[in-house]
């Protein structure tokens, strides 16, 4: 055989491979889309506090858009983009919000799905509860990230796959227009204008890419002087895009300026301005004050009860103190937690005396997703819609229904612990209760100082709680619903608490949050309950000795609940002149003087909460933070390991394929043809663009140049590798195109293998380090095989009739 007549037609096919793939990735388009979305997301600014949420949204959008573009860059068909984007989004959400429930923290499991559902619910609840600018709670962050990711996928689909980037302006109108709809008259013009600019930039990028022919796929190699370049621009397409885009922008501006602001009551169908607790996106704490300040009390509900003392009707509890606000934790119960059988509250031991009461409640005018009920409830009957109870709080809520027009009966327990029982409650708090000890980092010293001062000399948590309650109910403090608003310290934030402790004037929100914050500062788990105080007995309507109580908007109330190990959450009433002080905190329950605190506390021992408790709590928190840190490191390590394994998967696949081919060659089952396939695959791995329109000889000519270009290669080595390449080429050609059984280039398999190795080494040494690393870790031949067995017709189209 003669040496192959290479170079007959050198470099005939060849747009730069790199350029072709870069075009396919369409990076400029991806970045323009990202910019558009990020700018549009900033339009949510007036609704939310801080900027952390914006970064998270940017991160989610970037992950989706750039991940999708990256896959296109890797040579995957464009329609994989959105799928990949969705995958990236799910993985990112699992990583950030899954709390380690995902497999390898990336792949969602059933638990993750449950968690996501909870997050959606809690996010929705947070949105309902908070006033604007709202604090971005975990739930809200989750909703925002998921939303940004979904919009990014939509944009990617519109702009890259359907190639109508003009329509990409529609999805981004959502974040731009939402503030305009939520806030009265807040047409966020700067955000709108910025978005419009980003949108025009996107159109510009797209037009430029069209003009450059980047959007044409596949790139048909064109000869210089060739008249036909294959792709012809659709006439007027960019012009149309601009028109559509301009119309969209103008429409957006017009809509955002003129859109009627949704009336607060329209959601519930009752008249605006009535006591629509939480329904118009206002914080419960603020709303509560507004309801209390309302000159005319509106009826809210009425009830009859078998209880001897009319019960507090609790709506929800706020256990997370973020610093600016008290917010509800993750709220929804599992779907199995139907209200016909509610479990005993956590931490309640059978030694505590309880009595069962039955209360029938009828809603007059209240629209909320939280059910007002005496707590702890054991069962509720007569409700319309789906209502579930929550394990942690016992609160009853519905994901979709409201309290409007409900008539229902609640069977509830009345806890009647004795002071002695409460005093003896001790032991380490469970982990989920310890969360109710958290105070914001910026808590002023005044709160802790006041708490220690007030509780000095008390021996038990119970006594300390009572001391706090007594302190707040004392004559120093005045109940006033107007003063805080006038003086500008309304709400339940940590600064408000500190101001309140100085001014000593406020209403139930201030009293309850002050007590809760002070309790937490000395190591007692506490939370705030929101609901209605018992209301007033109607003169009329007493049936068979069971009185009818009416509750109006002025009865809306907040109080504090304290956790006792073995008893559970127990309500306290720190607000003077409101509600009723629980029996177990009244004086007739015999306050225990110092030194008589029981067998477990030595008389002159320091109060556990004061010193030991404090240290204990510190030690506990130290220990838990250490454990958290260790867990974090472990999680990070596992995450890295999992990621590493995932990243090495393509490499392993490629190595296996190479091994199988070598084995086939060695056993004589396959010959030079397989060796050639391995060579061309390796070439693809190392960034050589191999087309299916290329003959082996043409590829060989290019590989010979490549091998010859190896830095530091000696002449003889190059010659040997080139000769080996030629031998394999001839063998492959003979086996492909020669007579059957004509491959006689390598009589011995070992020689063929040696030749193959020499060529592969040559290709490897001719590539730079980056290309080698890519060839090992992300072998391109896996998803873009060098030789597709194709008999397809050339991609030409007959447009013009024969002349």
Partner 1 sequence: MRSVPVPALAGSAGGPVVDADDETLMDLPSVEAAARAIIRNVETVIDGKRAAVTTALTVLLAQGHLLIEDVPGVGKTMLAKALAKSVHCSVSRIQFTPDLLPSDVTGVSVFNQVERRFEFRPGAIFANIVIGDEINRASPKTQSALLECMEERQVTVDGATYLLPPPFTVVATQNPIEMEGTYALPEAQRDRFMARISMGYPDTESELMMLDARDTASPLAGIEAVVSADQLRGMMTAVRGVFASAAVKEYTVSLVRATRDDRDLSLGASPRATLQLIRAAKARAALHGRDYVLPDDIDSLAVAVLGHRLVASSRVVGHHQDRGPVVDDIVRRIVAATPVPVGAPGHP
Nearest to 138 by CA among 41, 64, 52: 52
Q: Please tell me what DSSP assigns to residue 787.
A: -
Nearest to 532 by CA among 558, 504, 568, 560: 558
In the list 296, 336, 442, 803, the residue contacting partner 1 (rule: CB under 8 A) is 803
Beta bridge partners of 356: 413
User: Which one, 213 or 576, has the nearer CB to partner 1?
Assistant: 213
- Under the binding rule (CB under 8 A), the answer on residue 235 touching partner 1 is no
What is the SS3 assignment for 597? coil
User: Which one, 143 or 683, has the nearer CB to partner 1?
Assistant: 683
Helices (H) and strands (E) in the chain, counts: 23, 16
- Under the binding rule (CB under 8 A), the answer on residue 694 touching partner 1 is yes
Which range in 74-82, 239-247, 496-504, 781-789 contacts partner 1 by CB under 8 A?
A: 781-789
Give me the least distance between CB of 722 and partner 1, in Å please.
18
Phi, psi at residue 577, to the nearest 5°? Answer: 80, 5
User: Which one, 103 or 737, has the nearer CB to partner 1?
Assistant: 737
Give me the least distance between CB of 220 and partner 1, in Å please.
6
Q: Could you tell me where the beta strands, DSSP code E, fall in 533-632?
A: 536-537, 548-552, 556-564, 568-572
Which range in 343-351, 382-390, 493-501, 733-741 contacts partner 1 by CB under 8 A?
A: 733-741
Nearest to 479 by CA among 501, 508, 450: 508
Contact 292, 556 (CB under 8 A): yes
DSSP string, 327-359: E--S-PPPTT-BTTSPPPPTT--TTS-EEEEEE
User: Which one, 24 or 145, has the nearer CB to partner 1?
Assistant: 24
What is the SS3 assignment for 759? helix
Q: Please tell me what DSSP assigns to residue 160.
A: I
Contact 675, 669 (CB under 8 A): no
What is the SS3 assignment for 363? strand
- Under the binding rule (CB under 8 A), the answer on residue 695 touching partner 1 is yes
Give me the least distance between CB of 632 and partner 1, in Å please.
53
Which range in 189-197, 381-389, 392-400, 690-698 contacts partner 1 by CB under 8 A?
A: 690-698
Which range in 88-96, 461-469, 772-780, 790-798 contacts partner 1 by CB under 8 A?
A: 790-798
Which range in 16-24, 364-372, 640-648, 787-795 contacts partner 1 by CB under 8 A?
A: 787-795
- Under the binding rule (CB under 8 A), the answer on residue 794 touching partner 1 is yes
Nearest to 537 by CA among 295, 371, 302: 302
User: Contacts with partner 1: how many residues (CB under 8 A)?
Assistant: 52
In the list 12, 208, 293, 335, the residue contacting partner 1 (rule: CB under 8 A) is 12
- Under the binding rule (CB under 8 A), the answer on residue 741 touching partner 1 is yes
In the list 698, 756, 759, 782, the residue contacting partner 1 (rule: CB under 8 A) is 698
Report how far residue 112's alpha carbon sits from residue 105's, in angstroms, rounded to the nearest whole number: 10
- Under the binding rule (CB under 8 A), the answer on residue 216 touching partner 1 is no
Both tokens of residue 59?
């991160």
Phi, psi at residue 417, to the nearest 5°? Answer: -75, 150
- Under the binding rule (CB under 8 A), the answer on residue 795 touching partner 1 is yes
Tokens 């914001």, located at residue: 440
Query: If 0-12 CB within 10 Å is exposed, 13-18 middle and 19+ buried, where does residue 543 land?
Result: exposed
Give me the least distance between CB of 6 and partner 1, in Å please.
9
- Under the binding rule (CB under 8 A), the answer on residue 220 touching partner 1 is yes
Which range in 3-11, 117-125, 564-572, 596-604 contacts partner 1 by CB under 8 A?
A: 3-11
The length of the chain in residues reads 803
User: Which one, 303 or 689, has the nearer CB to partner 1?
Assistant: 689
Report how far residue 482's alpha carbon sits from residue 497's, in angstroms, rounded to the nearest whole number: 16
- Under the binding rule (CB under 8 A), the answer on residue 228 touching partner 1 is yes
Give me the least distance between CB of 11 and partner 1, in Å please.
11
Distance of CA 741 to the CA centre of its chain: 62
Question: Which residues ranging from 649 to 678 are in contact with partner 1 (CB under 8 A)?
Answer: 670-671, 673-674
- Under the binding rule (CB under 8 A), the answer on residue 17 touching partner 1 is no
Give me the least distance between CB of 227 and partner 1, in Å please.
4
User: Which one, 747 or 794, has the nearer CB to partner 1?
Assistant: 794
Which parts of this chain interact with partner 1 (CB under 8 A)? 1-2, 5, 8-9, 12-13, 220-223, 225-228, 670-671, 673-674, 692-695, 697-698, 733-743, 787-800, 802-803
């Amino acid at each position: 055989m003669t040496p192959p007549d290479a170079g007959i037609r050198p470099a005939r096919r060849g747009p730069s491979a790199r350029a072709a793939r870069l075009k396919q990735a369409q990076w400029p388009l991806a970045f323009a889309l990202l910019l558009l979305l990020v700018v549009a997301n900033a339009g949510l600014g007036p609704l939310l506090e801080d900027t952390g949420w914006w970064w998270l949204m940017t991160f989610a959008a970037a992950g989706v858009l750039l991940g999708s573009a990256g896959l296109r860059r890797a040579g995957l068909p464009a329609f994989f983009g959105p799928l990949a984007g969705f995958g990236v989004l799910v993985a990112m959400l699992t990583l950030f919000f899954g709390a380690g429930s995902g497999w390898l923290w990336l792949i969602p499991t059933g638990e993750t799905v449950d968690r996501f559902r909870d997050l959606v619910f809690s996010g929705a609840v947070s949105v309902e509860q908070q006033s604007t600018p709202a604090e971005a709670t975990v739930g809200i962050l989750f909703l925002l990230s998921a939303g940004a990711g979904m919009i990014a996928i939509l944009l990617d689909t519109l702009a890259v796959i359907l190639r109508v980037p003009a329509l990409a302006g529609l999805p981004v109108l959502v974040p731009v227009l939402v503030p305009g709809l939520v806030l009265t008259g807040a047409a966020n013009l700067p955000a709108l204008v910025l978005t419009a600019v980003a949108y025009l930039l996107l159109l510009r990028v797209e037009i430029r890419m069209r003009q450059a022919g980047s959007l044409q796929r596949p790139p048909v190699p064109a000869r210089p002087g060739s008249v036909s370049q294959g792709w012809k621009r659709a006439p007027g397409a960019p012009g149309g895009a601009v028109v559509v885009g301009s119309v969209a922008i103008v429409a957006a501006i017009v809509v955002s300026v003129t859109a009627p602001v949704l009336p607060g009551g329209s959601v519930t169908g009752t008249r605006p301005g009535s006591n629509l607790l939480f329904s118009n996106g206002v914080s419960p704490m603020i709303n509560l004050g507004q309801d209390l300040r309302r000159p005319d009390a509106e009826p809210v509900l009425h009830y009859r009860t078998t209880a001897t003392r009319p019960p507090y009707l609790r709506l929800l509890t706020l256990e997370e103190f973020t610093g600016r606000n008290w917010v509800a934790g993750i709220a929804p119960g599992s779907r199995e937690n139907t209200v016909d059988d509610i479990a005993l509250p956590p931490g309640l031991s059978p030694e505590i005396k309880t009595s069962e009461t039955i209360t029938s409640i009828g809603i007059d005018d209240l629209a909320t997703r939280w059910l007002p009920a005496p707590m702890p409830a054991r069962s509720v009957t007569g409700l319309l819609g789906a209502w579930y109870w929550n394990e942690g709080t016992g609160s009853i809520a519905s994901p979709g229904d409201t309290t409007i027009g409900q008539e229902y009966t609640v069977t509830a327990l009345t806890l009647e612990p004795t002071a002695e029982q409460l005093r003896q409650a001790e032991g380490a708090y469970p982990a989920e209760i310890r969360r109710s000890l958290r105070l914001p980092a910026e808590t002023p010293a005044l709160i802790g100082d006041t708490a220690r001062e007030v509780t000095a000399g008390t021996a038990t948590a119970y006594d300390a709680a009572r001391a706090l309650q007594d302190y707040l109910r004392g004559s120093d403090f005045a109940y006033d619903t107007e003063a805080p608003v006038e003086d500008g310290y309304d709400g339940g934030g940590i600064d408000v608490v500190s101001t309140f402790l100085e001014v000593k004037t406020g209403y139930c929100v201030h009293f309850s949050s002050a007590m809760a914050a002070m309790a937490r500062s000395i190591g007692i788990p506490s939370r705030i309950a929101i609901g209605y105080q018992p209301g007033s007995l109607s003169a009329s309507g007493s049936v068979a000795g069971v009185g009818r109580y009416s509750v109006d908007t002025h009865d809306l109330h907040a109080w504090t609940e304290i956790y006792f190990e073995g008893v559970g959450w127990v309500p306290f009433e720190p607000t003077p002149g409101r509600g009723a002080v629980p029996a177990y905190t009244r004086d007739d329950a015999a306050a225990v003087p110092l030194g008589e605190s029981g067998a477990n506390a030595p008389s002159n021992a320091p109060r556990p909460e004061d010193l030991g408790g404090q240290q204990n709590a510190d030690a506990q928190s130290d220990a838990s933070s250490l454990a958290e840190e260790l867990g974090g490191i472990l999680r990070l390590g596992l995450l890295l390991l999992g990621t590493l394994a995932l990243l090495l998967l393509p490499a392993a696949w490629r190595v296996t394929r190479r091994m199988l081919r070598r084995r086939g060659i060695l056993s004589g089952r396959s010959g030079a043809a397989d060796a050639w396939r391995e060579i061309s695959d390796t070439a693809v791995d190392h960034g050589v663009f191999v087309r299916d329109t290329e003959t082996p000889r043409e590829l060989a000519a290019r590989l010979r140049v490549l091998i010859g270009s190896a830095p530091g290669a000696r002449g003889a080595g190059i010659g040997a590798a080139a000769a080996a390449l030629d031998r394999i080429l001839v063998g492959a050609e003979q086996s492909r195109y020669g007579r059957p059984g004509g491959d006689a280039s390598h009589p011995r398999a070992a020689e063929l293998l040696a030749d193959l190795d020499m060529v592969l080494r040559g290709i490897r040494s001719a590539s730079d380090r980056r290309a080698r690393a890519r060839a090992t870790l992300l072998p391109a031949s896996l998803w873009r095989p060098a030789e597709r067995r194709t008999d397809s017709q050339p991609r030409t189209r007959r447009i013009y009739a024969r002349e």
